[in-house]
Amino acid sequence: MKFETSKYSKLLEYKKIEFPYGTFYTTKHFVISELNEGIHVDYNLVSDLISAFSEEIKKGLRIGYIANRINSYSFEPQLWLDFNNEYDFLVASAVVSYNDFSYLNSSLEKHFFKKSLKRCHSLDEAIEWMMTLDEFQKTIKRNR
C-alpha cells in the first residue's frame, strides 16, 4: 500500500518530496520512502538524499525511517554500516516487505543496522510501531 492511499496520509501532517529514484514523505517524527522499481540503492544515491536533508541534519534532527518497499529494487546492506559510521540522526528503521524475498533481504539488512530495525508486513504496522518509540512519545505527549 502506498502512503498516500493509507489512512495515515489523512491523519499525519507530511511533506511529499519527489526524486528521480522515488518519493519521500516527511513527517514530524519519521520519513517514509517509496523507491522506484528496479533502482539500485548505493552510496551515491544515499549521499544525494543526505544532501537534500542536510539542513535538518545540521539542526540535530532525530527521526525514524520507514522503507515502504512497494517496488522491487536492490540495496547494498553494507550501506547501513557506512551510514551508522557517518551519521547519527536515525532513531530506528522499519522495512515494509510485501513478499518473502523482500522480507529475507530485510532480515539480512537487520544484521548491518546498529539500531533497531523492525521488519513489517504492512505500512500500518510500521507507522504504528514508529509512533510508539520512546524517543517520539516524549514529544507527542508534550504537544498535547
SS (H, E, C) 67-89: EECCCCCEECCHHHHHHHHHCCC
Checking if the pLDDT of 46 tops 50, the result is yes
Binned at pLDDT 50, 70 and 90, residue 35 comes out as very high
Domains and CATH numbers, the chain: 3-142 (3.30.750)
pLDDT tens-digit series, residues 81-102: 776 667 778 889 999 999 887 7
What pTM was computed for the model?
A: 0.86
Other Cβ atoms closer than 10 A to 135: 13
Q: Which residue has the cell 520512502?
A: 33
Checking if the pLDDT of 37 tops 50, the result is yes
* Res 58: pLDDT: 67
